[in-house]
Structure 1
């Protein structure tokens, strides 16, 4: 049986190095299959993360041959030609806990900084609304909000963003995409605070529009367009003197 060579980064926040492994090359083998086989059969101490295995949770994301991907939905044949090795690293731009497992806290902290939680317009101070707000499905704000709502917070766009690498304070594509969905949600009452949160040096204006986030989003979302939408909203609000 043919074998597949695999290089996996092993270490922690203090540093590490690559370790080499070999597994049988199988038909329809995913990268997550490979990592799981190595952990079960060769290296029980290997740390990595996964849950659903069907592209619903995003927790299995890591860098595969230089590109951030979901490993459960990535077949080996798509990323390595026959005879080529797999090189696996933890997601860039995030602290390493151990081996392929990263600390996602900075990623989600930036969601909070971007005011990524829904604030009901008709129920201030955390109160529960009396009834569901009716939003016409065909309205432009509804379509704008729906365009980015499917983000599951896997961190692939964040790990692929050059600006995050240059500026660790940058909010990143996922947090800004979330802010854009809420800016377009007519039920939300925190529009002004949210736009203020994404307007600083670490916000949407720092985006260089290289579109790596859009290119690599496993859900097919377009954070680049969301960030451009935030820039437009801030421009028109400043031009028209809107504060609400």
Structure 2
């Protein structure tokens, strides 16, 4: 494969009435990633193309996009791994498009912030650092590595029909603090994710689990939150909404 063709969804709200695809063909270099291909287009073919990227190491999550039918990080997706002579790229779904592949993250982060993704300290504050056993710390490992790439949110059908739905990313963070032995607001967090826009809206389709570039399990986190809510309701610690 000496050349590669990119079909990129373009949209400039200042002048376009609807999105359209633009095609670019250029030489394929060994081990070239999808992101490197986009930079080649930007630098040598079309200076108007817009997309996001930062670390190029699959850490920041900013280059997530829809690539050949699946949400992926463009920086760690090699073109040859797609096994196709054409790379079709679309922006993330369920978020307004600023331009081309650049989306507005505001709603995504507003839903996250609503669940207070920070430690709510127990009182009184300890004079030194909080102590955790290795077992207590291990409970955080499976949920603490989320890079907020938004692939799970874009693949979620519920998020696509209700922008008030917190989303898989927010539930993953909620479980991280519910599991944290240092946090003083477990019941408050469970009550919040049990609301109408919470975990019981999940359709358990597992899209979020399939697309996560860090191999996390948002679907499993949602199931654990549901179980914890139910157990606390049975114990009388959490009231069910009438």
TM-score, length basis structure 1: 0.91
Q: Is 1:90–1:96's contact at 8 Å kept on the other side of the alignment?
A: yes
What do you get for the CA RMSD once the two structures are aligned? 1.7
**CA offsets per residue over residues 43-98 of structure 1, 9 Å max, x none?**
111111101101111111111012111000001112242xx311111111111111
1:78 aligns with 2:78: no
Contact 1:113–1:197 (CA<8 Å) still a contact in 2? Answer: no
SS of alignment partner, residue 232 of structure 2:
helix
Moved more, 31-40 or 163-172: 163-172
Matched, 1:151 2:146: yes
Distance 1:15 1:190, change over 3 A: farther
The answer to whether 1:115 aligns with 2:116 is yes
Report the equivalent of 2:70.
Answer: 67
- Preserved contact between residue 115 and residue 193 of structure 1 (Cα < 8 Å): no
How far is 1:112 from its partner?
1.2
The question of whether the paired residues in 1 share the 8 Å contact of 2:107 and 2:163 is answered with no
CA deviation after TM superposition for structure 1 residue 145, in Å: 2.1
Distance 1:10 1:162 in 2: 23
- 1:35 paired residue among 34, 38, 50: 38
**What corresponds to 2:7 in structure 1?**
7
- In the TM superposition, what is the alpha-carbon distance from 1:129 to its structure 2 partner? 5.7
Displacement of 1:144 in angstroms is: 2.5
Given that residues 80 and 86 in structure 1 are in contact (C-alpha distance below 8 angstroms), is that contact kept between their aligned partners in structure 2? no
2:7–2:21: 8 Å Cα contact kept in structure 1?
yes
Number of residue equivalences: 236
Q: Which aligned segments of 4 or more residues in structure 1 are displaced greater than 6 angstroms?
A: none
Q: How does 1:199-214 map to 2 (within 5 A)?
A: 199-214=194-209
In the alignment, which of 159, 167, 174 is matched to residue 169 of structure 2? Answer: 174
Deviation at 1:230, TM superposition (A): 0.5
Distance across 1 between alignment mates of 2:54 and 2:108 = 19
Q: Hey, what does 1:160 align to over in structure 2?
A: 155
Contact 1:31–1:74 (8 Å) recurs in 2: yes
The equivalent of 2:190 in structure 1 is 195
Q: Unmatched 5+ residue regions in structure 1? A: none
Does structure 2 retain, via aligned residues, the 8 Å contact 1:47–1:98? Answer: yes
Separation in 1, partners of 2:53, 2:179: 32
**Distance of 1:238 and 1:15 partners within structure 2:** 48
